[in-house]
């Protein structure tokens, strides 16, 4: 059970990182070339 909890925590951590990084990447793309379809 501890291994399952650790893997879930790691997935949530990666998901939070992606939610922080991905919008900033798409925002930079939108600035670089307007209009952009995402």
* pLDDT tens digits along 3-17: 888 899 999 998 898
The one-character DSSP state at 34 is S
Please state the length of the chain.
38
pLDDT band at 38 (very low <50, low <70, confident <90, very high): very low
Cα first-last separation, the chain: 39
pTM as predicted: 0.49
Which pLDDT does position 34 carry in this prediction? 64
The token pair that represents 24 in the structure block: 């900033």
So what's the pLDDT on residue 28? 78
């Amino acid at each position: 059970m501890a291994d399952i909890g650790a893997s879930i925590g790691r997935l949530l951590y990666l998901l939070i990182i992606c939610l922080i990084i991905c919008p900033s990447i798409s925002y930079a793309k939108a600035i670089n070339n307007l209009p952009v379809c995402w």
